[in-house]
Amino acid sequence: MAGDKVILLDFYPSMFGMRARVALSVKGVEYEYREEDLRNKSQLLLESNPVHKKIPVLIHNGKPVCESLIIVEYIDEMYDAGKKVWTTQGEEQEAGKKEFVEILKQLESELGEKPFFGGDNFGFVDVALITFSTWFHTYETLGNFSIKEHCPKLIEWVKRCLEIGEVSKALAEPNKIYDFALALKSKFAAQ
Ligand code: GS8
Residue 73: predicted pLDDT: 39
Q: DSSP state, 156?
A: H
Tell me if 106 sits within 8 A of 151, measured CB to CB.
Answer: no
User: Mean of the pLDDT values across residues 134-153?
Assistant: 96
**Is the predicted pLDDT of residue 141 greater than 80, yes or no?**
yes
CA of 148 to the centre of ligand 1 (A): 28
Tell me if 42 sits within 8 A of 9, measured CB to CB.
Answer: yes
In the CATH scheme, what architecture does the domain 69-190 have? Up-down Bundle (1.20)
Is the CATH number of domain 6-65 3.40.30.10?
A: yes
- pTM score of the predicted model: 0.69
71 lines ligand 1 (CB under 6 A): yes
CA angle 107, 112, 114 (to 5 degrees): 115
**Is the predicted pLDDT of residue 138 greater than 90, yes or no?**
yes
Q: Whose CA is nearest to atom 20 of ligand 1?
A: 54
- Helix (H) / strand (E) containing 6: strand 6-10
Give residue-wise pLDDT tens across range 47-86: 999 888 999 998 888 878 877 754 333 334 447 678 889 9
Q: Fold match between 6-65 and 69-190?
A: no
Tell me if 126 sits within 8 A of 166, measured CB to CB.
Answer: no
Q: Whose CA is nearest to atom 17 of ligand 1?
A: 54
For the chain, the average pLDDT equals 87
Give residue-wise pLDDT tens across range 16-37: 999 888 877 766 678 899 999 9
33 lines ligand 1 (CB under 6 A): no
Give residue-wise pLDDT tens across range 174-188: 999 999 999 998 887
Question: Domain residues of the chain, as ranges?
Answer: 6-65, 69-190
**Is the predicted pLDDT of residue 121 greater than 90, yes or no?**
yes
CA of 66 to the centre of ligand 1 (A): 10
Atom of ligand 1 nearest to the CA of 14: 13
CA of 127 to the centre of ligand 1 (A): 17
